[in-house]
Structure 1
Amino acid sequence: MYQSLKTGLLALTLAVSLPAAAENYTIGTGSQSGTYYPLGGILAKVWNDNIDDFNMRAEVTAASVENVIKVSSNKQLAGIAMGNVVLQAYEGTKPFPRKMDVSVLFALYPNVVQFLVPADSDITSIEQLKGKRVSLGAPGSGTRVSAINILKTLGIEESDVNGQALNYTATTNALANGQIDAGVIVGSLGVGAITELALTRNIRILSFTDAELAKIVETNPSYQSLDVPADTYKNVPEFKAPAVWNVLVANNKMDEELAYDMTKAAFDNIDKIRQVIGVTKFTTIENMGQLKGIPLHPGAQKYLNEQTQ
C-alpha cells in the first residue's frame, strides 16, 4: 500500500512540476521547388518562437486543394492556397464536393499563371496549345485548378490538350527534355522552378491578349491582369498574365485567440519573413482582405480592427 501511495504521489508531483507539452501542428505548403514551402517554413519558425506551447512544421503537399481539404478536416492547422481555390471551397463548387470549413487569416502575395514553352517553340499563343502535350499541374494543386479553369474560360477544354499531371519540378524537367510542349506553373514572380530552368534553357512565357485577360477577369473575379517586365527570368521577354492572390487559410472554427496570436506574430515579425521570402513585400496589413467573397477569421479580423482604428 505504501509503495502504491508513493508511486501515486510521484506521478502527481511530475504532473504538476513538468511543463505542458507544446501542441504539435503542421502548415500545408506545396512542392519544395515552389514558394509555398519556404514561406511555410519561416511562418512556422516565427510562430514557434513567439507563441507559447506552440510547435509547427512545414509539410510538403500537393498545394492549394489538398491544403484546403486538410485544414477543413483539422488535419492541418493552417495552409497556403490560391484565392480562387479557396473561394471554390468556401462556396462548395468543383473540385470540392461541398462547402468547406475554411476562412482566411490574411492575404500573402499574388500568384501569376505562367505558361512556359521553349524559346524556339512555334507556340506563340494560348489558342495554339490545342492538341499539344501540356503539363497542367499536379493532382490536388491550385496550378491544375487554375490552368483548367482558365483554358475553359478561353474555350479550350481539358480534352483539347494532351494533359499531363506534373508538379513544378517534373514540369520543368519534362520541358527541358522535350517530353512536353508546354507547362503551367502558377507561382510568384521569380519562383524557383522557373528561375532555375531559365538559367539552363532558353524559354518563353506565353503572353495573354488583352481580350483574353478581360474575359478571364470577368469570369473569375479573383483574378487580375498583370504586366510582367522583361528579364524577370533570364532572357525571358515581357509578358501579360492573369494573377490571383495567395492566402493563408485556417479552419473557420479555429480558436479566436490562436488565430489572433498567429496573425499578430506574423505581422510583428514581417521584416524577418521578408528577408527569407522577398515576395512577401505584398503581405501587408492593408492587403489582409484582398480576397473578396470570403470573410477573414474573427481572430484575424480583430487584429485588423486594432491596427486600423
Structure 2
Amino acid sequence: MITINKKVLTLVASGILSFSALAENYTIGTGSQSGTYYPLGGTLAKIWGETIPDFNMRAEVTAGSVENSIKVATSKQLAGIAMGSVVQKAHEGVKPFPKQMDVAVVSALYPNVVHFMVPADSDITNIEDLKGKKVSLGAPGSGTRTSAIGILTALGIDESELKSQSLNYTATTSALANGQIDAGVIVGSLGVGAVTELALTRDIRVLSFTADQLAAVSQAIPSFQPLDIPANSYNNVPAFNTPAVWNVLVVNKNADEKLVYEMTKSMFENIDQVRQAIKVTQYTTLENMHRLGGVPIHSGAQKYFDEQTK
C-alpha cells in the first residue's frame, strides 16, 4: 500500500497524473441535446465538480426518463433527470419497467408540459382527431413516449389506432415541419428549445385538452395535473390547456447518503447559477422539493431539507 501511494505521488509530482485523475468520475443522464435535460445536467455537473471535493461528473446524452431511471437503479449512472410519472412507474415496477427499480428522488425540479403539436392549418383540432394520423409519440425509452401512450390510453385511444412513429425531439420537429407527419408529441419544460425553434420557423398549434379529457388523464395518472398555457408562450401559438408533470432529479435509493447530501446542498446553494442557464428552474425550490408524491426522497436530500426548514 505504501509503495502504491509513493508511486501515485511521484506521478502527480511529475505531472503525468493530475489530482483530478484521482477524483471519482460520475455521469448524470439527461436526454436529447435539443431538450432541457441536457443543458440542465451539464450545468449541475459543472457546479458539483467545482464545489464537491474529488468529484468529477459529465452530462450524458440518453433517450431520456426511462433509460435514466434504469441506469440509476442499476448503478450505471449516479444521477438522472426524469419525469416524475416515469420515476413513479419505476418505483412501482410497472410497464415499461420489468420490476421495481431502486430509485429515490433528490428534488422535484420543474413542471413538464405536454405538447401535442400540429401545423396551424391542420384539420386536427382535438386529441380524438389523431386516430388514423401519422403521429410521432417520442423516442423509444423516453418519458415523452411513455407519457404520450399513457395519456392516449387514459382517453381510450390505443396506439394501434394511430400511424405512430418513434422519433426524438429533433426528428419530430423536423418531420412536422416537412409535412412527413400530421402531429408530434414533445413533453418538456414550457419554452423547451425544440418547440420554440419550430414555432419560429413554422406556424403551429398545440392541441388543447377539454376539461373532461384533463380530468380523465389526472384520474388515470395522478402525477399529471392540468395547466393553462397562455397565448404566445411560443411564437404566435394560441393559448392551450394541457396536462403537466414534474421533472425530478433521481438517484439510486442506496446511493451514499453523504454524497447525495453534498449534491443537494451544492445545487440549492448555487441555484442562482442554475437559473441563469435554465430559466424554468425558477421552480426548483425547497418548497417544491417534495412535489412528486409516491416516490421516496433520498435520505441525504431529506437531511439537507430538514436542516434548512427547522
After TM superposition, what 4+ stretches of structure 1 lie above 4 angstroms from structure 2? 8-12, 16-20
**Distance in 2 separating the partners of 1:220 and 1:50:** 38
Length-normalised TM-score, structure 2: 0.95
Question: What corresponds to 1:103 in structure 2?
Answer: 104
Cα-Cα RMSD: 1.3
1:138 match: 139
Determine the structure 2 residue equivalent to 1:39: 40
Structure-1 residue corresponding to 2:276: 275
Corresponding residue number in structure 1 for 2:127: 126
Relative to structure 1, the CA distance from residue 304 to residue 130 in structure 2 (aligned partners, 3 Å threshold; closer, same or farther) is same
Q: Percent identity?
A: 68
Deviations 1:50-90 (Å, cap 9, x if unpaired)?
Answer: 00000000000000000000001111000000000000000
Deviation sequence 1:23-49 (CA, Å, 0-9, x none): 111000000000000000000001000
Who is 2:115 aligned against?
Answer: 114
Distance 2:72 2:213 in 1: 33
CA distance 1:9–1:43, shift in 2 (3 Å): closer
Aligned residue runs from structure 1 range 171-190, under 5 A: 171-190=172-191
Would the alpha carbon gap of residues 12 and 258 (structure 1) be closer, same or farther in structure 2, given more than 3 Å must change? closer
CA distance in 2, matches of 1:182, 1:265: 41
Aligned amino acid, residue 130 of structure 2:
L
Tell which structure's C-alpha radius of gyration is larger: 1
Give 1:91 shift. Answer: 0.2
**Paired AA for residue 159 in structure 2:** E
TM-score of the aligned structures, taking structure 1 as reference length? 0.96
Q: How far is the alpha carbon of 1:295 from its aligned partner?
A: 1.1
Distance 1:9 1:219, change over 3 A: closer
CA pair 104-10 structure 1, distance change in 2 beyond 3 A: closer
One-letter code of the match for 1:14?
K
Alpha-carbon distance in 2 for matches of 1:9, 1:91: 48
Structure 1 Cα separation of the partners of residues 6 and 80 of structure 2: 39
Q: Which runs of 5+ in 1 are unaligned?
A: 1-7
Supply the AA of the counterpart residue of 2:48: W
| Residue type of the alignment partner of 1:61 | T
Once residues 40 and 218 of structure 1 are traced to their aligned partners in structure 2, the CA distance between those partners, rounded to angstroms, is 31
In the alignment, the residues of structure 2 paired with residue 44 and residue 12 of structure 1 have an alpha-carbon distance, to the nearest angstrom, of 29
- SS at structure 1 position matched to 2:263: helix
Quote the offset at 1:9 in angstroms. Answer: 8.0
Structure 2 gaps of 5+ residues are 13-18
Q: How much does 1:14 deviate?
A: 3.1
- Partners of 1:119 and 1:16 lie apart in 2 by 65
1:93 aligned partner = 94
Q: Which stretch shifts more, 201-210 or 214-223?
A: 214-223
- Matching residue within 7, 15, 37 for 2:8: 15
Equivalent in the alignment of 1:220: 221
